[in-house]
Structures are given as structure tokens and as C-alpha cells.
Structure 1
Amino acid sequence: MFIRNERSIKEFIQFYPVTGIIVIINLSLWLLINFLQLPFGQSIYQWGVGSNFFIENGQYWRLITPIFLHGDLIHVLFNSFALVLFGPALEQMIGKGKFIIAYLGAGVVGNIATFLLGPSSIIYTHLGASGSIYGLFGMYLYLIAFRKHLIDPGSRQIVMVFLLIGVVMTFLRPGINVHAHIFGLIGGFLLGTMLFSNASPYSPWRNRHHFRQRGEDEIGFDPNRWQKKRLSPSTKKKIIWTVVLLLFLIAWWNRT
């Protein structure tokens, strides 16, 4: 479920448009605010960053906008990578509309919990898609608990390892929005009970077949495609675990 087999970024966006657009928004806003440092970007940051003080004064859009804003480069890359890794399967299984509800809904639940349980000081701010990302984990947790036929054993192991490490780091590392992580996870789990009613198992070939039927597959038939060397299941698992390990080592090193 988590090995990407798309042949280009364009194809990835075609197959998983919601995931692709969210990643583009995350990276574009980070570049605009943190890299280019344009005055317009700083205005977006001031207007959208999470602030319990301003929410108390009626700026309720700040329950949503922090989901698309990030701090340093590792922050935005980590969340974007996690979304690319874990988002596509869910987007295909439940559909684009429900996936938007799941992603934003979990993030909003995490931000509401931050508003209710966090400090209301004007100097306290928060940002990041972590609540939404943990919401995706919550949905996978629902699959593991109640809809096991929709997720294969190898994918269950990957999800549980990511989830356990993430939860442990949530409580061990300073500067983490614990409320957003935990309640985003809970929100995703609860949303899963409503959004998986008509879901079908993920198939990496379903989207390609769909676009080919519509005549939108730009790459024609390859008579030698079955002769190409394919990775064995054990090799694929080694690649996944290597990426997972490197990702967490990088995230851990840059947060110390």
C-alpha cells in the first residue's frame, strides 16, 4: 500500500489529486513564507498561524489555516513525505471528497483540542499538519481494528511502527503540540467509523486502469513490460524500512 509506483509527479497528481494538491500548498506556502520571505508571505503567516488568544476573539479560521503552515524545512518535508506515503491509499479507498473531510476534520479536531486545553496567552502559537497526519494514522488504526480485510499484514506492521514511534516522540520531545497529535489521532479513528462504509481495498493498478479507459494514459502499451525486472517482496520491505529509519533519524536529529 505504501510503495509508490507512479511514473511521474504528473501521474501521481492525476491518480491522487487531493494528496498532491495539499503537498503543493504546504511546500508553496513554506517557500513563500520562510524561503522567499516576502512581505505578502509574512502577512499570510500572521493571518493563519494558530493562536488560542485570537480564536477566543472570534478568529475561528485559525482552527483550519495552521494545518497548511509549517516551521522549518524538516517540519514541512516530514509532514509532506508522510502525506505522500500514507495519503494515496486512503484517498483511493474512500474517494476524494471523503478524504478531504478526513484530512481537514482530523486537523480541526486537533486544533480544537489545542484551543480548549492549551494556553490562551497571546505569545503561544502553533502550526503544522501533524494533527491531520495523525488523523491518517487514526484511520489506519480503525482499519487494523475493525476492517482488516482492507489492509495487508505488511502495511499493518508499517503503520503500527510509525504510530508507536510517533506517539513516544510526542511525549518525549519538547515543542510538540501534544493535543493536536493525540486528538488528531482520535479524530481520524472516529472519522474512519463513518467514512469506510463502502470502501474497497487499495489497488495500485486501479487508477491506471481508470485513466486508460478514459484515454488519458499518455504512455502506450509496452510489449516488454512483463520482462522488466521486478523487486522481490523482501527487497521492497527493506527499502521501506530503510526509508522509515532514515526519516525518523533526520527528524530526531533536527529537533534536538
Structure 2
Amino acid sequence: MPVDGQGSGLPRCHRHPERETGVSCARCGRPVCPECMVSASVGFQCPDCVRGAAEQAPRQRTSFGGVLALGDGALVTKVLIGLNLLVFLLTEYVSRDWQVKLGLVSWAPLPGLRYGMAEGPQEWYRLVTAMFVHGGLLHIATNMFSLWVLGPQLERVLGRVRFVVLYLVSGIVGNALSFMLTAGPNQLFTVGASGAIFGLLGATAVLFRVRRVPMQPVIALLVVNLVITFSLKSMIDWRAHIGGLVAGAVIAAGMMYAPRAHRNLVQGLTTVAVLAVGLALVLLGMARLPG
């Protein structure tokens, strides 16, 4: 303690110059006061060194190379559900015109008139937006329940970025297959996240296979969904379901079976290849259209 207005001769904290201290940071050696001391395995460290060590430490990754998410492991799943609900409110209760603007429309009723996807690249955004449009409460309820069941597990094991890629590319390829197989003089209107969700289902089957988890539950779920799909094929776009399922399984296989030494390369090439197949399906659909 200072005596008669004079200091004790102790060094002063480098963050609080008005405070004297006899403790130094174990890393950089600078003086630190009790407020700045951070307990370490040996001695104390200053906040700057602790922050720097945290930034330099390698980020923890999942078994398939994704960055391990800190905190909420289902954040992306919740965001996707929120986006779907937001678009549903817009298209169902604010303006139904947006269902047509965002849906996978491929052909207009008037002969020779192209519309939507069939018009050309300027309308191909519908491959993505159609995934967030739903036709009624039952439609969105069943899809969002499936997303909540399948999403969090895959998000945690793949990491957020890989999970988003799996979801979106599966949905795009599902919509592309739907467009290719139905492009023609009859109007097509397809909406829903089912293609992307079937992609998650295919990825879950691959995950169970990789982890050697009994396959019976996911096979039963897959069979039930396929039976419903083809039993109600007049009301359900089975093409988007099959396209999403195959795309999701292939992407997941590339992500989960990729050798560690070339993991990012294999995962990236697999995803690009599947996306290229989706583009090829769209181009084939365009070629089938008259005029």
C-alpha cells in the first residue's frame, strides 16, 4: 500500500495503470491486477493472451470434417423451419399470388407460351424458392415435423455448412427432376420442402450405415414415405421425392466416406457433381419443350 502519497514500488497493471500488483501474466510477463487475472494451469494469464490462444487453437471438428457448432446444435434446422413458416404465412394469408411467383411453375395454359421455369435461366430461382412454399396447413405441418425429426442429428454430425448444402442441393435436384419429367404442354405447379427432406432421409440412411446403427427404423420410415408418395401420386410430386432422396444419399456418401487426407476435395467434388446433374436435368427439360 502507498505510504504518505508515495507508491510501494510495485509494477502497475498494463490494463489498469492506476492499480499496483505483484502478479505477472505467465505468458507475456506483463503485470495483471486481480480483476484481469485469468487462472491457468500454471499461474495466471492476462485476458489478451487468453483471447489470442483461443483464436490460434484449431477449431474442433465433427467426425466428417464440419466445424463443431458451439451452443445450439440445431440452430440451422430451426432457421429453416422459421423461413418455411414465414413464407407460408406470406403465401397463404398475405398474398396467394406469391405461391405462383415462388412455386415451380413450368408452363402456362396458353399454347406456346412459356412461363416460370420454362421461360429460361431468369426464372430458375424457383428451384430454390419452391422449397419454401407449401399448400396448406397439413402440408407444412408434416414437412416441418419431418425436418425437426431428421435435421438436428445430421446438423450435429455434419456441421452447419455441410448440412445447409445437403438440404439445399437435395431440394434443387428434386425440383430439377420434377421439371425434367413433366416439362411439356401441361402446366406444372410444384411446391414444398419434401425433396429436401427426402434428401435428409437418404443422408440419415447413409449415416446409419456408416455408424453401423441398425437400419430397420430408417428403412421402415423410408418405405412408409415411399408408399404414401406413390399411393397419392396424383396429389404428391413423387419426382421431387425420388430426386431429393437419391441426391441426399449420394452427397451424404461423399461427405461421410471421404478419406480424411482428401476430405474437403472429395466432399466438394461430390456436391458439385450432384449439382451439375441437377443443372443437366433442367437443360434436358428445357430441350423437351416445343418451340
TM-score class normalised by the smaller sequence: 0.5 to 0.7
Q: How many pairs does the alignment contain?
A: 178
Aligned partner letter, 1:30: F
CA contact (8 A) 1:52 1:121 kept: no
SS in 2 for 1:64: helix
Deviations 1:145-204 (A, max 9, x none): 4x134xx33xx33221111011111111131101101111000011012222579xxxxx
Distance (Å, rounded) in 2 between the aligned partners of 1:144 and 1:129: 23
Q: TM-score, normalised by structure 1?
A: 0.65
* Larger relative contact order (Cα-Cα within 8 Å, sequence gap ≥ 6): 1
Q: Does 1:15 align with 2:69?
A: no
Distance (Å, rounded) in 1 between the aligned partners of 2:185 and 2:133: 20
Distance (Å, rounded) in 2 between the aligned partners of 1:104 and 1:122: 27
Please list, as runs of the form range in 1=range in 2, the aligned pairs for 1:172-187 lying within 5 A after superposition. Answer: 172-173=231-232, 174-187=234-247
Mark the runs of 5 or more structure 1 residues left unpaired by the alignment: 1-12, 200-256
Aligned partner letter, 1:50: L
Q: Which residue of 2 aligns with 1:56?
A: 118
CA-CA distance at 1:122 after TM superposition = 6.1
CA contact (8 A) 1:52 1:119 kept: yes
Q: 1:64 to 1:120 in 2, by over 3 A?
A: farther
Q: Which residue of 1 aligns with 2:192?
A: 128
SS in 2 for 1:115: helix
Please list, as runs of the form range in 1=range in 2, the aligned pairs for 1:136-215 lying within 5 A after superposition. Answer: 136-145=200-209, 147-149=210-212, 152-153=213-214, 156-173=215-232, 174-197=234-257
Query: RMSD value over aligned CA atoms?
Result: 2.0
Percent same amino acid among aligned pairs? 31
Q: Which residue of 1 aligns with 2:47?
A: none
Q: Which residue of 2 aligns with 1:112?
A: 176
Q: 1:189 to 1:160 in 2, by over 3 A?
A: same
Q: Which residue of 2 aligns with 1:45?
A: 99
Q: TM-score, normalised by structure 2?
A: 0.57
Q: Which has the larger radius of gyration?
A: 2
Aligned partner letter, 2:104: G
Moved more, 61-70 or 111-120: 111-120
Distance (Å, rounded) in 1 between the aligned partners of 2:247 and 2:84: 21
CA contact (8 A) 1:110 1:183 kept: yes
SS in 2 for 1:14: coil
SS in 2 for 1:88: helix
CA-CA distance at 1:55 after TM superposition = 1.1
CA-CA distance at 1:130 after TM superposition = 0.5
Q: Does 1:24 align with 2:82?
A: yes
